[in-house]
Structure 1
C-alpha cells in the first residue's frame, strides 16, 4: 500500500536510477582520480625538467671550478635552448637579470618574482608562483662566487599543461555523459525485459483479485524469475484446487444435509408432546439422523483435507505388518471367509494410518456386498519401485453401469446404506500418495477386486 503524500516509483525506475547513480559515481571517481594522477605527473615532469637543467649546468662546469659565477651563467645561457613554456634566467652577483626564452611580462614586470628569487638565492629550491592569472613553477640554483652568490633560475609555465589536462577532462566528461546515457537506455530496455515476468505476475494477481483463478503465467526463460513463475503457477493450482474443494464440499454438504434436516423438522412438527411413546420414537429417529449427519460431515471434512500438504504423513512402513494389521481389523467387521495373500515384503514410504483406512474401506464395501461364508481376500504385492494393496470378494460385483463412476462422490449401488463417499476418500488417499485406485475386471463374471497402486518411494 502506498503511503499518502509519498511519491510512488516503479521498480524499473528505481533500478535505472540506482544504475545511473552507480555508473555516474564510478565515472566521477575515475575522472577525479585521473585529474589527481595527471596533476602529479605534470608537477613531476616540470620538476624533472628543471632538475635536468640544473644537472646540465653542474656537469658543464664541473671541470672549471675557477671560472666566475657570472661567467658560467652567461656561457650556460648562451648555449641553452629552452623548451616550450620554459625560461632560463641568470641572476648575477651584481646587476639585473637576463634570460633566454620567450619573454613573459607576467614575470618581467612582477616584483614578487624577483623577491622570490632573492629569497631562494642562498638556499635554492622549488616554489609555485602565480602572476597575471598564470601559474609557474620556479627553480633556483645558487652559484657561489666568493662571498657573493649568483643564481640560475628556471621557470616553467604550468598553465598550458593544466589547460591541456582540463581539455582532456572536458572530453572525458562529454564521453562519460554519453556513456551514461547509453548505459541508462540499455538498462531501461534490459530492466523492462527482466521485469516483464513481474509485470505479468502483477497483472495475473490483479485478475485473481477480480475473482478469476483461471489465469496462469506464461513460463519463459531459465533463471530465478522463471522459478518464480513456476512457483506462482503451482500456488495458483493449489489455490484453485482448494477453492474448488471448498465449493464442492459446500455444495455436497448443502445437498446431502438438506434431506436429514427436512426429516428432523418434519418429525418435530408432527410429534405429539403428550404421547410418551411417540416422543421416544421421534427421539430415537432424530438421534439416528444426527448420527448420520455427523458421519457425513466427518467424511466431507476428510475429502476437504485431501488436498492439503499435511493430509498424509510419510514414514517407513513395513508392508507385511501393514497387511496383517488390516486383515486383523477386517475380521471384526463380519463373519466372512477371510483370507490373505500378502506377498509384499520390505518397507515403503507411506502414511500407514491412511492406507489402513483405505483398505478397511475396501473391506467394508466387500462385507456390504457379500453374505456369510463368502470369501474376502486381502493381498499385497511389490516391486522395487511400486506396491499394490488389494481387496477381493466373491460377491455380485459392481454393476457395469457404475464401474466408470464408482469412485465419484455420492455414487452408491442403491442397495446399501451410505453416502457414497467411502471410495472417494480412498481415491483421495491414493492421489495424495502419488498413486491410483483401480477396479479390476471380474475374472469369472462375479466379485470385485479393488486395488491401490502406489509408488514405493514418494516424491514430496
Structure 2
C-alpha cells in the first residue's frame, strides 16, 4: 500500500520553487529539490552525500547554523552560498532540525537569492550619495556663480531672468533633498506591517507643521474626529506631501488649503482642497507618476508619487477632483477605518 502522505510531502518538496535541501545528522546532503540544484548548479548525483559545507560561502555563518542545529534550534538569517562555478550568491535562509518519533533524523533548509536586491541596494546607495553630496555641491556652486554675476548686472530684465535661474537651482536642490528624505523613510519602514494608527493625532500634527513651514499660506480645517485607520509610520509623510503640494503648486498670492475628514461605510475620507490652478482631468494620473505622458514628460513631482505609493500599500486610494467652485483641486484620500467594539 502506498503511503500517500509521504508521497504528498515528497512531491511538495520536489516541486517547490524555493531551493530546499535535507541534510543527515552528519550534515551531508541527503536530498535536494530541483530548484536547489538549479540554484547551486550541481547535478543530483554530484552533491548527494557531500558535506553541506561544500556550498558555504561564509564559514562563520555556516558554523553558526551548525550550532543551532546541534542545539535543536531553528536558524534564520543572511547567508552566503558558493555555487559549483565558484560564483558567490547572497541570500536569506532558514534551517530547522527534522524530528521524527522524538529523535532528530536530519535537517531541513531553504533559502532565497537576494543577490539582485543587494545589487539594487548598492546602486541605491550610490545614487543617494550622488543626491546628498555631488549634485547638491555642484548646484550650490552654480548658485554661487549666479550671485556673483547678479552683483555685476545693472539691466533689470537680465537680472530678473537670472533670478529665475537661481529659483530653479534652489528648486532642484529642494527636490533632491526631498527624494533623499523619502528614500530614507522608505528604508526605515521596510518590512513593517500595517496597523491601526490615530489619524486625528497625525493629521493635526502635520497641519501645525505646515503652518510653521509655510507662514504665508492659510490652512483651514474642521475638528478631526478621533479615529484609527489601517496604515503605518509613513502616513504622516504622505499627508505632508499633500499639504505641501497645495502650497508649492499654488499660483495665488495667498495659497489656501482646506482639510476635512469624513467617515462612511468603514472608510475614512480625507479631503485636501486648494485654491491653486487645478488639475486637468487628462493629467490626473500623470501627476502621481502612474503613467508617462511621453518620453520627455513624466510625473510632476516626487512627493505625489511617494504619497500615491504609500497609500496604495495600505490598500487605500488617492485621487483628484474639482472643487465646488472649479477653482483649485481637491486631493481625496480613502483609508480603511479600524472599527472597535466600543
Task: Say which one has the larger Rg.
Answer: 1
Which is strand-richer, 1 or 2?
Answer: 2
TM-score by length of 2: 0.50
Which is helix-richer, 1 or 2?
Answer: 1
